[in-house]
Structure 1
């Protein structure tokens, strides 16, 4: 994809099948995931965005993936769910941003991807109330989580900073209460309340 100037900002939400707290970021992606393989779902709610002259305000997308062992060893299988309201031009722009082919933060991970699973479209609904949040994409994706506070339950959620994570260098920790994924050949369901979640504002730009 030819690179064009672009910028998006909004809210990022993620759950994965690792136990809380996911070891992959503190372990510099060379630590084995707690379930052996990592299944992750990263949802992005674009509040304001533009790719060249294509407006992306109010749209959403979800990156889903599986890594067969430690994330840093590569061979990821990754796919994309894009807001069904997106036009063809908007969908192409979001695909370029999310895949890293248009540059930006996700480009740093593109070398770890062995298989691109494709793109599906769906309504995507984001809900947030205080430190509780959910993301729903019809029958493809469902995530529910609550920010994880420390010794003072009335305080803001605990955070990890200086992470180097492509979504945000600092993010709040969360406990996933419900995760469902049945998209692009990847399936995962968990309602144990033990899985990892995280969230943050994000600002990306490229070219």
Structure 2
């Protein structure tokens, strides 16, 4: 397997009520809705796998866990920006599945079903503490960070986590959260605030 390295920006929403119990229990808690549906969106600003450049490629890992994530049996699908070449899609598939090593390899034993790869135009937007990602008609999610009173203009962070994106995650609430892909559907509604996170990421293997 060729050596690889990617870095950029990550954001996610999930169906858990704010604050998601999974992070604080090392994935051992039952999600607040009894099951977890989450979309990890990654924008690669700089990266490569071997001689395949990955600069500017975005992808989304959509997952469903029927109970506590640590118990496994998760269903996972991958959405890659439609601008990516076949070589880039193959490289992202190896990275996102954990087959090429790196942080996602830790989650790989918990995946019971890989639902496939889809391609859509992915738009990843950032403005201060807001993040928004849209992938065609499959994903539409947006978050706003929770401001810290200890540091003006900065969010509250969770640190030293086991999350694959980054051990330090900004706390955020979802302002939109819609999934409809690979048989995983979710649409935030009602008064319950839903969970979100964002962070820079840097992966390599």
Using the size of structure 2 for normalisation, the TM-score is 0.96
Matched, 1:134 2:135: no
Q: Could you tell me whether the CA contact under 8 Å between 2:83 and 2:121 is conserved in 1?
A: yes
Q: Which whole-Å deviations, capped at 9, do the CAs of 1:25-57 have from their partners, x for residues lacking one?
A: 111111110000000100000000100000000
Matched, 1:84 2:82: yes
Matched, 1:163 2:168: no
Matched, 1:71 2:75: no
After superposition, where does 1:22-101 map in structure 2 within 5 Å?
A: 22-101=20-99
Alpha-carbon shift at residue 150 of structure 1 (Å): 3.7
Unpaired segments ≥5 residues, structure 2: none
Q: Which residue of 2 aligns with 1:20?
A: 18
Q: Which residue of 2 aligns with 1:200?
A: 199
Distance in 1 between the 2:51 and 2:138 partners? Answer: 30
Q: How many aligned positions are there?
A: 204
Q: Could you tell me whether the CA contact under 8 Å between 1:177 and 1:191 is conserved in 2?
A: no
Alpha-carbon shift at residue 191 of structure 1 (Å): 4.1
Q: CA RMSD in A?
A: 1.3
Q: Which residue of 1 aligns with 2:9?
A: 11
Distance in 1 between the 2:65 and 2:166 partners? Answer: 20
Following TM superposition, where does structure 1 have runs of at least 4 consecutive aligned residues deviating by more than 3 angstroms? 150-155
Aligned with residue 179 of structure 1, among 166, 177, 180? 177
Q: Secondary structure at the match of 1:58?
A: coil
Q: Secondary structure at the match of 2:90?
A: helix
Unpaired segments ≥5 residues, structure 1: none
Q: Which residue of 1 aligns with 2:117?
A: 119
Distance in 2 between the 1:152 and 1:146 partners? Answer: 18
Q: Could you tell me whether the CA contact under 8 Å between 2:26 and 2:162 is conserved in 1?
A: no
Alpha-carbon shift at residue 154 of structure 1 (Å): 4.5
Using the size of structure 1 for normalisation, the TM-score is 0.96
